[in-house]
Structure 1
Amino acid sequence: MVSAPALAQTTTTDDTNIGQSPQEAAAKAATAAGETPPAAQPGGDIVVTGTRIVRPNVTAAAPITSVTSADIRAQAAVNVEDVLNRLPQVAPDAQQTYNDSDGRQRIKLRSLGFERTLVLIDGKRLGTQNGQDTGIIPTTLLERVDVLTGGASSVYGSDAVAGVVNFVLKKDFEGLQLDANYNFYNHNNKDTVVSPLARAAGFPSPRGWTNDGGRADLTLTAGHGFFDDKVHVSGFVNYKNTDEIALTSRSNAGCYLTQLQLNGPLSCGLTPSSSTSGLITPQSGPNAGAQLVNNPNGTRTFVPFGAGQGNASNYFSGYAYQRPSERVNAGGFVTAELAPEAELYASGLWFRDKSYTNYPTIASGTVNVSCANPFLSASQATAIGCGVAGATSVPVSLAYRLGEMNDRPDTFVNTGVRLTGGVRGKVGDAWTYDVGGVYARNHQDYIPSFRTPGNLQNAVNVGGTAANPVCASGAAGCVPFDIFSAGNTNPALINYLFTTGTSQTTGTLYDVLANVSGDLGKYGITSPFAEQGVAIALGTEYRKDTLKSTADASYRSALGGTDSYLSQDVWEANAEVQVPLIEHKPFVELAQVNGGYRLSKYSSNPSTFNTWKIEGIYAPVKDITFRASFNKAQRAPTVVEIRQATNIDFAAGGAGTFNDFCAPTPIPGPNGVTYGAPLASREVCRATGLSDALYGSTSLLCSNGTTPNGTAACTVRSGGFTADPETAYTQTYGLVLKPRFVRGLVFSVDRYRIKIDNSLGYNDYSYYTDGCLRSGGDQFFCQGIVRNANGTLFSNAANNPTTGFIRQGTSNYYTSIARGYDFQAQYPMELGSAGRIDWSFNGSLTTFAGGQDSPVQPERNCAGYYGNGCGQLIPKWSHGLRATYTTEGRGFSASFNWRYVGSLTNADNSGDPAIGGTAARARTSYYRVAPANYFDLALNFAIAKQFSLRLIANNLLDKAAPIVPDSYNISLARGNTIPQRYDSLGRNIAIGTTINF
C-alpha cells in the first residue's frame, strides 16, 4: 500500500528540473480533478489521501490540494513551513520570524488549530498532536504534499477535524545524489513612518541595501537495490543552518510602533522602560515616582528619562527578525519482498534542531539602597530620598539594561525520532493488507535565561569603598553592582545576576494499526449498471500518547511549576465502502457513493463515540463531475487539554491588571484615590450572583498593585472543568470541469462548511469578565465569576475553595465556524518544438472564519479582519498562479509565480458590532493592510544529465512589508507587521544545484 498519486522515483534529469515533468503535471492535474494518476506499483493498486481503499481506479470525493517536488524546488524552500505558508488553505505560521517561538513547526488548516489538523507521513501519523514537529521532514526528500481539507476523521482518526496533510517522501531512490541550496535576503531599506520616530528616540534606522539572513541547506541521498531489487535500501542526511537577522536591520522595525490612543499619534514603545545608563525611580523622598537616569558624562548626577532625552534603550533591539538555528536530519528506508504476498518495510527519521531567542538583559525590580553606598554621590543621595531625616536606606525601582550587546538568549533544542515498520501485500486478486506501526518521540530542552532570585538585592547592597567595593551581605560569589553610573556591562556581574535552567518536555506516540482492503467485484458484488465492483476497507488501531514534563531545580525555583506525566490510550476501529452505482451510461458517466464509519474509545472519557462520512460523485459526462462529502467528527481533548481543563490551580492572576467590575472604579488623582461608579450595571452584577445591597461596595475592591484598592488581589482559578469531546460537521460540495475541447484543462471549485459544536479551547479569565460585561449579563459568561457569600472574589488557594474566584482554562464553549470556497486549475499548453507551458492555480475565498461564543451572542465573522479577538488573520481572498515554461528537451525551464494576499482590516472598522465594529471605535488611520502582490521567478538549467543549476528570486520586486502599529497584539511579532501573511524581510535570492553521481 502506497500513498498516491505517487510516481516512481528515478535519478534522471526529470527529477532535478524546476519545470514539472509531464508525469508530475499529469499527477497534479489528476489530483485537482479528484482522480488518481497512473499507478506506480506493480499490479496497479494505489491509495489516495483521504481513503484507505486500494484499487486501480479511484475518484476522490473530497478536494485535495497537492504540492509537487517541482513546486518545492521552484521556491527554494528549506523548511516545511515555507512550503505550506503559500497555500491559502493553511493558516500561515512564522516560526522563523516569531521571537517567542519554541522552534517547532506545526500546521493549522483553516485556522482551526493544530490540534484539529492531522499530519501524516506516507499515510501514517507523524507523531503526537501536542509534540509533533514537521521540522523532522527535509524538503529535499518530499515527493509531494497532499492537503485534504474538510474532515477525514472516519478514515484517520477523530482528530482530523479540519483535514489532513500527508507528506509523501521519496523512498525508492537509486544512486547517489547531492542537493545544495543557499539563499539570502537582498533588501533596500527605505525610510518608513517608523524611521523618524526611531531616530527621535535615539535608535538607529537603517537606509540602503542589505544582504543578510543566509540559509544553507545540504542533502546527500543514496539508495540501491539488492537481490534483483527485491530488497531496496535508501538513506539521506541533511544539514541546514540559518543566520540571524536582527529586528533593527529593517527600516520598518527601528522601534516598536504603538498607538496609545484611538486615532492618536504613533510613538516608539518604551515599555518595559529601561536604560543602558540605568533608570532609577525613587519610591520615597522629594522625587518619589520621578524617572531618573545616570548622566552618561560620568559626573554621578541624574538627568530626566524619556525618549526625547535620548537615554531610553530599545527594549526590542536584540530581538530577531529571523531566528538563528541549526538543524540536522537523517533517515533511511528499507523494503524487502519476501513473496508476492508479503513485503516487509521499515523507515526511520531523526532530527536535531537548535535555535535561539534573545531577550534583554535588564536588572529590574524594587531594591533597598543603603544611604552609605560608596557609589552614591551626595546629589544622587538627596535625589533618591537619603536626605530625609533618619533615612539609612531607601527603596528605589531599578531598570538597568546591562548593554544591548549583552542580551542573553533562551535556547530551544528540539530532537525527534520516528520509526515505522510492518508488513504489507496482496492476498489473491481481491485483497490487500497492511499491518504496521509507528513510534515517534519528540523531545524539547528549553533553556531560558532569568534573574537569580535574591541576587539583585545582594549586588545592590554595596559596602566598603568606591575603590574597593564589597557585597555587604557577604553572599558567596556576589559581585557589587554600581547602579549609580552609566554603561555598566561587567560580565561577572551579568553572570551573577542571571542564570539558566532547563525544562524538558517529551512527547511519545505508540501507534499500531492494521488495515485490509478488498475489491468485492472479484466476487461478483457489483452494481448491474457499473463495471467496478464494491470496494471495502476495514481497520483497527491502538494509540498511546504520552507527554512528560520535568525541570531542574534552578528552573523551578525561578519560574515555578511542577513535573507532570500525562497519557491517553485510544482504541479505534473503522470501515469504509465505495459503491460505483452506474458507469458509462447515457447521462451517467459515473454515479458513486462512499461511506465510512469509525468507532473510538479514549481512556480519558467514559463514553465511546463515533465518526462517519457519506460521499457522493456524479459525472453526467466525462467533462463534468459533481462531488459532495458530509463528515461528522468528534474530537477528544489531547492530553494537554485534559490537564488544562481538570488540573486546579489558584493564583492572584489578576493582580496589577483588573478590579472587580461591580466594585467602585478607582480614580487616581493628585490628592489620592477617589472612586467612581462600577463598570458594570446592577443587572450584570446580579447575573454574577451579587446582591443589590453589595453593588458598588468598597468591600469588593481588589488590590491591583498600584492603587490602594483592597487588601487582596482578585483570585483566578485555572481548571476544574470537564473537557468533553467536541463535535464537528463538515460539508463540501464541488464541481470538476475537464472540457474535451480544451485538452488538459482541469478546473475545480469546492464549497466547504465546517461547524464545531461544543468547541474545545483555552480561555483566560478575561473571556468570562469581558463576555459577562459585554453581553449584559449572559449566564454563559457570568457563571465563570464565582463569588463568596459576601460577594468578594478573594480565596485562599491552600483551602482549595469552591467560591471566590474567576475561572480560566480549557473548556467546551459554543461553536467554531469556517466557510468558504476553494478553486484549483491545471492547464498544460503544448508549444510543439518550442516546448510547453504548465499553468497551475490555487485560490481560496473565505466567507466565514470565527464562531459564536454563546447561544445568545451573535456570530463573530473574522474573515478579512484582525484585532478584537480576530486572531485568524485570514484574508477573504488569496491565491497562487504559477506558469512554468520548459524547453522541448527539458534543458531549461523558467517558472513564474504570482502570489496574491488579500487585504486585512481592523475589526474596529468592520461595521459589525459582534467584532467591535461600532461607530465609536472606528479608526481613521492605520486600520487597513492593503492587498499584496508578490512575484517569484525560478530558472533551471539542466547542464548535463547528472547536473542541474537553479537560480531563484522570491518576492522579486522586493516589496516592503506593510506597517501595522501594535503588531504584537495582532501577530505576536514585534516587527510592526504581520510576518505570517506578508513577506517581511524583502527579496529572497537562492542558488541551488543537484548533482547525481
Structure 2
Amino acid sequence: MRRTTTFVAMLLGASSISMASAAFAQEATTPGTAAGEPPAVSSAMPGGAPSDEVIVTGSRVVTGNTSPTPLTTVSTANLLQNTPTTVADALYKLPVFAGLPAQTRNPGNSSGNSGANNLNLRSIGAARTLVLFNGQRVPDNNVDQLPQMLMQRVDIVTGGASAVYGSDAVAGVVNFIIDKHFDGLKANGSIGVSTYGDDVTYRLGIAGGTTIGRLHIEGSVEHYDDPGIFSKLSRPWGRDVWSTQGAGTTANPYREVKNTRISNTSFGGKIVSGPLANQNFSTNGVLTPFINGTATGASTIQSGGDGAFFNTASLKTKLKNTQYFGRADYELTDDINVWAQGSYVDTNNKNNHQTNEFRNYTVSATNAFLRPEYQAAMAAAGVKTFTIGKMMEQAPPLQPETFLKTYIISGGFDGKVSMFGSDWSWDVQGMTSRQKQHTFNNANMDGAKAAAALDAVVDPATGNIVCHVTLTNPSAYPGCVPINIFGPTSESQQAIDYILLKTDFTTITTLKEVNASISGSPFSTWAGPVKFALSGEMREATVKTNSNFQPTDRVDCSTLPLSPAANAKTPMNCSIGSDGKSTQARWVSNVVARLPKASVSVKEVAVETDIPLLKDVPFVQSFNINAAARYTDYETSGTVWTWKIGADWHVNDDLRLRATRSRDILAPSVTQLFGAASVNPSGITDLHTGINAVAPVQTNSNPNLVPEVANTLTGGVVYRPSWLPSFSISVDYYRIKIGNAIANVSGNDSTVMRICEDSNGTSPLCSLYVRPLPFSDRSPANYPTLILANPLNIAKFLSEGVDTEVNYGFDVGSGRVNLRGLMTYTAKQRSQTLPGTVVLDAAGAAGLPSIRAVLQAQYVQGPFRFDLLERWHNSTRRSSNPNDVWAEGRVASRGYTDMTIAYDIKMLGGTSQLYLNIQNLFNTAPAVHGATGGSSSVPGLFLATTNGDDIIGRYFTMGFRYKF
C-alpha cells in the first residue's frame, strides 16, 4: 500500500510539473511516400530525418539522427504500395521479422485466436516484441486491431528498449504512427485473386480530416475481406502430401516422403484387429483387402496405398476485418493541447484444422451395421470386439472460428513551457481497452455421444437399429442416433449431427494505463545541452474466460453398456484409471476452461538522459552518451530494474558509430500466469507405444512465473559519403542473451518424450503423460489419453547477428531510381529448453535462414511509378538439432519477385492512383521441408514447407487510391 501511495504521489507530481512544461513529441514526423518520393525512410537514409530535431521511437530524449539504438522507419504508403493487402503482410517481408502472416501459417486450433497477425522480431517469439500505436501499448501483439487508413509510418527499433518502454521490448519495438494532422479526404479500394482463381479479396476504405480554428478532427472507416483457402489440396505442393518420417538416426534418418498415408486408418474404415484385420471398407458395407503403401521408417506411415490423411486442413485462414477510428485535437492555448482518440475493430477469422475421425476405436463384433457374414467370421474366431480406424469425409472438419471485438480509447494533454532557460515538453495520457474474443470449434466431437452412437444394436421390439444405450440407459443419452462407419459415405447426416456440436468460449481481456512524462534540457555542457526525461506509468491487465465446455470433462463410463469382451469391466471407448475414475476426455478437440477474472498490475518510474561529452574536436564531430533506467514493481513477482546505456559518435558528416548495452525484461502475461487451461488435439509419434496418432494436449498457466531477463548488446556504423550523394549504408551487430526464458515444456516435444523413455518412467517429465495403463505396458492400448504442457522459467536463449541496410537514389533522364536493400544475417539462435538437453541452433536451419534479404527498386517518372521487390533467403540445414541425421541435403534457397505498376491521374480536384500489383510474379513454389516430430509427421495436417516461403502462389491485385 505504501509503495502504491508513493508511486501515485510521484505520478501526480510529475503531472503537475508537466502542466507548466513543454510539449513532448514522442514520434518523428516523416514525409509521406507518394509517387516520386523515396521508397522508405530510415535513420541511415540521406534525407530520412526532417530538418528540425524530433523525438523518435526508442527514446524520449534522442533524435533519429543521434539515436544509439538501430531504427528503421518505413512509410505505410510504401508498405502498401508493394503489398496492398495488409500492413502486417508487408512487414513480414522485412528480414528483421521471421515467419509467415498468421493467415498462411499452418492451420490453428481453437484454443486461441489462431488467425491473429503477431509480429516476431528476430524470431525469438512474438511476446518479446512490443507493439505500440502512437507510442501507446496495444492490448496484445495483434496488428489486425490497428486502423490503417491514417497510419503514416512504422518505426522499427531493433534493440532492447525495456528501460524506455517496460516489459516486452526485448527484441525491439514496433510503433505504428498515424498522421495526426491530416487535412482532406482520401479513399482506396482493391480487389485481388490468385493465379489459381481462388482467394478473391477486396479492401475498401475512406478517411477524412479537417482543421477548424484550434480544433483538428479526423477519422476513418475501412473493411478488408479475405475468404481464405480452405484446402491445401488446392496447390500442387499441398496435393503431394509431404511429411517427415524416420527417427533421425543413422539407421533410420529423417526423410521427406511424398504421398504419405496413415496405415491404421482409411477414408472407408480399416479394421486393424481380429480375423478381418487389414481389410478396408472400400465401398459402403463391403470389405476388400487393404492395399499397403511403401514403408517409410515409421510404423504407421506409408507412401501411397489405401491409408487416409488429413485432407481438409486449410492453406490460408479466412480474415474479415472492419475498422473504425476517430481523433480530435484542440489547442487550449499556444502551449497546451488536449486530444482524444478511439478505435473499434471487428475481426473474424476461420480455418479448417483437421478431419474428424475415429482412430483406434473399438467396435462390437455384433454391431448392427456390420454385415452378417462378417459377424459370423468374428464369432467363429471367438472375437467379441475389434478395432477400426476411419476418417470421415462426410462430416465437417474441426473448424476453429474466432470473432474478435476490440476497442481502444485514449486521451491526454501535452504542452510546452520554458524552464531552466530552455524549452521543456510534457504529456499526461491515459488509455483503456477491452478485447472480447469469442472462439468456436464448429464441429467438435462429443466423446460420450460418439461412444454411445458407435455401439449399434437391433432393438428386439421394433427391429430397428438403435444405440445400445437406448435399451440399457435411455435417459442418459436421449435422442441417441447410431452411426455407421463402415464405408466412405456410410454415416447418416442425423448421426453426424448427433455426435458433433459447436463448442465455444469467450475471453475478455482489458488493459488500462495512465502515464506522464516530462523532458527537456536542465543545463548544458561544453559540448551541448544535456537532455533529460522523467516518466511514470501504471498499468492493469485483466483476463476472464467463460466456457460451458471444460477440458477436465470426462466421459461418464458408468452410463454406457459394458464392452461385450470377456470379463470386461469398462464400456467400449471409455477408459478408467487406477483410481476408478474415467480418464476419457469428453471433447475430442479444443475446449478452454472457465476462469474467474484475474488481474496483474504494474507501476513503473523511468529516467533517461542524453549527455554530449565531445564536440568539434579531431576525429569527433560529436560524441554523446545516452542512458536510461526503469524501476518496475509487479503485483505478482515483485520489483525489477532495467537499464540501457548507449554511445553515439559522429566522426564527421559521413561516418557515425553507435552502440548500446541494455538489460531488458519480458514479464509473464496475465494469461500465462492465470489463463484458463486449454486442450487441443495434436498429432504425435508416441515413442512408448510406437503409435502415430492424435492425442489431446492440455496447456496450463503458471502463477509462479517471474520476468525473464535479457542482456542485449548492439553496435553499428552508419556511412553516408559526401562524395556519393543519396547513398547510405548501415551495419548493426546485435546479441541477445536470456538465462531464465519462459518456455512451454510439453510432453508433445520429442526431446521431452525421449528423456522420459530413457529414464524408464522415472523422470519427472513422465508426469506430462496420462496413460490408462502402467508405464511398463508398451502395447497400443497404453497410448496417452492426455498430454500436459506447462510454462516454466527454465530455458536458455542466445541470438546473435548483423543487420545491414543500403539506400541509393539517382536520376535517369527525367525520372528517378531509388534503391533500398535490407539484409539480416543470423549467426546464432541457440536455445535449450531443459537443462542437460542438447542445445539447438536455429540459425541457418529451416525456418530461420541465416541470410534473409529484401531489395526494392523503384523508378518514378512524372505520374508513372514502377516497383520491383525481391525477397530472398539462402539455403538452410534441415534441423536445428545437431544430432539429427537426414537422408536429404540442405533445403534450397528461394527468391520471390513482387511487381507494382502505378499511374497518377488528376481528377475530381484531387489525385487518383491506379495500380496493378503482382505478388510472386514467377509463381515460385515453396521448398519441400517438414520439421521433426509432432504434427510434421502426420500426413496432410501441416504443409511441409519451410517457414517464410510463399505458399499461395502468384497473386494479382488491382486497385485505386484517391486523395483530395
> Fold conserved (TM > 0.5)?
yes
1:262-661 maps to which residues of 2 (within 5 A)? 262-263=252-253, 266-271=257-262, 273-282=264-273, 284=274, 286-287=275-276, 290-296=277-283, 300-304=286-290, 306=292, 312=306, 314-358=308-352, 359-364=354-359, 366-369=361-364, 371=366, 373=368, 375-383=369-377, 385-388=378-381, 394-403=384-393, 406-428=396-418, 430-448=423-441, 449-460=443-454, 461-464=456-459, 468-474=464-470, 475-520=477-522, 525-528=523-526, 530=527, 532-553=528-549, 557=553, 558-559=586-587, 562-564=593-595, 565-606=597-638, 608-643=639-674, 657=686
1:858-877 maps to which residues of 2 (within 5 A)? 860-866=840-846, 873-877=847-851
Q: How many residues are treated as equivalent by the alignment? A: 851
Secondary structure in structure 2 of the residue aligned to 1:430: strand
CA root-mean-square deviation: 3.8
CA distance in 2, matches of 1:86, 1:654: 30
Q: CA separation of 1:468/1:930 partners in 2, compared to 1, >3 Å: closer, same or farther? A: same
Secondary structure in structure 1 of the residue aligned to 2:199: strand
In structure 2, give the amino acid aligned to 1:977. Answer: A
CA distance in 1, matches of 2:185, 2:802: 43
Given that 1:243 and 1:325 are in contact with CA atoms closer than 8 Å, whether structure 2 keeps it comes out as yes
Deviation at 1:556, TM superposition (A): 6.8
Given that 2:423 and 2:521 are in contact with CA atoms closer than 8 Å, whether structure 1 keeps it comes out as yes
**Bigger relative contact order, structure 1 or 2 (CA pairs below 8 A, ≥6 apart):** 2
CA distance in 2, matches of 1:725, 1:452: 39
Given that 1:784 and 1:807 are in contact with CA atoms closer than 8 Å, whether structure 2 keeps it comes out as no
Q: Is 2:161 the partner of 1:181?
A: no
Given that 2:392 and 2:488 are in contact with CA atoms closer than 8 Å, whether structure 1 keeps it comes out as no
Matched residues, percent identical? 24
CA distance in 1, matches of 2:869, 2:916: 14
Secondary structure in structure 2 of the residue aligned to 1:596: strand
Q: Is 2:103 the partner of 1:96?
A: yes
TM-score w.r.t. structure 2 length?
0.81
Given that 2:743 and 2:833 are in contact with CA atoms closer than 8 Å, whether structure 1 keeps it comes out as no
Secondary structure in structure 2 of the residue aligned to 1:501: strand
Deviation at 1:901, TM superposition (A): 1.1
Q: For 1:846, which of 812, 826, 830 is the aligned residue? A: 826
Q: Is 2:118 the partner of 1:151?
A: no
CA distance in 2, matches of 1:77, 1:494: 42
Aligned to 2:872: 900
CA distance in 2, matches of 1:759, 1:495: 45
1:669-748 maps to which residues of 2 (within 5 A)? 722-748=704-730
Deviation at 1:463, TM superposition (A): 1.9
Q: CA separation of 1:275/1:653 partners in 2, compared to 1, >3 Å: closer, same or farther? A: closer
Deviation at 1:172, TM superposition (A): 2.8
Given that 1:594 and 1:616 are in contact with CA atoms closer than 8 Å, whether structure 2 keeps it comes out as yes
In structure 1, give the amino acid aligned to 2:654. Answer: D
> Which stretch shows the higher mean deviation, 72-81 or 539-548?
72-81
Q: CA separation of 1:970/1:825 partners in 2, compared to 1, >3 Å: closer, same or farther? A: farther
Q: For 2:128, which of 113, 116, 126 is the aligned residue? A: 116
Secondary structure in structure 1 of the residue aligned to 2:332: strand
CA distance in 1, matches of 2:551, 2:677: 22
Aligned to 2:173: 164
Aligned to 1:930: 892
CA distance in 2, matches of 1:320, 1:651: 17
Q: Residues 699-741 of structure 1, C-alpha deviation per residue, up to 9 Å, x if partnerless?
A: xxxxx999xxxxxx9x999787842332211111111111101
CA distance in 2, matches of 1:650, 1:405: 22
CA distance in 2, matches of 1:116, 1:61: 20
CA distance in 2, matches of 1:304, 1:775: 33
Q: CA separation of 1:311/1:723 partners in 2, compared to 1, >3 Å: closer, same or farther? A: same
Given that 1:32 and 1:63 are in contact with CA atoms closer than 8 Å, whether structure 2 keeps it comes out as no
Secondary structure in structure 2 of the residue aligned to 1:811: strand
Aligned to 2:13: none
Deviation at 1:749, TM superposition (A): 0.5
TM-score w.r.t. structure 1 length?
0.78
Q: Residues 571-618 of structure 1, C-alpha deviation per residue, up to 9 Å, x if partnerless?
A: 000001011222334432111111101000001113x21111111111
CA distance in 1, matches of 2:684, 2:221: 53
Q: CA separation of 1:316/1:966 partners in 2, compared to 1, >3 Å: closer, same or farther? A: farther
Secondary structure in structure 2 of the residue aligned to 1:946: strand
Q: CA separation of 1:766/1:70 partners in 2, compared to 1, >3 Å: closer, same or farther? A: closer
Given that 1:729 and 1:755 are in contact with CA atoms closer than 8 Å, whether structure 2 keeps it comes out as yes
Given that 2:132 and 2:175 are in contact with CA atoms closer than 8 Å, whether structure 1 keeps it comes out as yes
CA distance in 2, matches of 1:753, 1:382: 71
Given that 1:54 and 1:517 are in contact with CA atoms closer than 8 Å, whether structure 2 keeps it comes out as no
Q: Residues 469-494 of structure 1, C-alpha deviation per residue, up to 9 Å, x if partnerless?
A: 44453343222323345422522221
> Which stretch shows the higher mean deviation, 893-902 or 88-97?
88-97
CA distance in 1, matches of 2:668, 2:149: 34
In structure 2, give the amino acid aligned to 1:828. Answer: G
1:193-208 maps to which residues of 2 (within 5 A)? none
In structure 1, give the amino acid aligned to 2:366. Answer: C
Aligned to 1:203: none
Aligned to 2:249: none
Given that 2:426 and 2:517 are in contact with CA atoms closer than 8 Å, whether structure 1 keeps it comes out as yes
Given that 1:500 and 1:554 are in contact with CA atoms closer than 8 Å, whether structure 2 keeps it comes out as no
Aligned to 2:578: none
Aligned to 1:992: 959
Gaps of 5+ in 2: 1-23, 247-251, 295-302, 471-476, 554-585, 777-785
Given that 1:716 and 1:765 are in contact with CA atoms closer than 8 Å, whether structure 2 keeps it comes out as no
Aligned to 1:980: 947
Deviation at 1:275, TM superposition (A): 3.4
Given that 1:769 and 1:782 are in contact with CA atoms closer than 8 Å, whether structure 2 keeps it comes out as no
Given that 2:539 and 2:603 are in contact with CA atoms closer than 8 Å, whether structure 1 keeps it comes out as yes
CA distance in 2, matches of 1:270, 1:371: 29
Aligned to 2:794: 813
Q: Is 2:842 the partner of 1:885?
A: no
CA distance in 1, matches of 2:699, 2:401: 31
Q: CA separation of 1:417/1:602 partners in 2, compared to 1, >3 Å: closer, same or farther? A: same
CA distance in 2, matches of 1:785, 1:992: 56
Q: Is 2:236 the partner of 1:251?
A: yes
In structure 1, give the amino acid aligned to 2:236. Answer: S
CA distance in 1, matches of 2:871, 2:154: 19
Given that 1:648 and 1:720 are in contact with CA atoms closer than 8 Å, whether structure 2 keeps it comes out as no
Given that 1:957 and 1:987 are in contact with CA atoms closer than 8 Å, whether structure 2 keeps it comes out as yes
Given that 1:63 and 1:750 are in contact with CA atoms closer than 8 Å, whether structure 2 keeps it comes out as yes
In structure 1, give the amino acid aligned to 2:166. Answer: G
Q: CA separation of 1:966/1:527 partners in 2, compared to 1, >3 Å: closer, same or farther? A: closer
Given that 1:238 and 1:328 are in contact with CA atoms closer than 8 Å, whether structure 2 keeps it comes out as yes
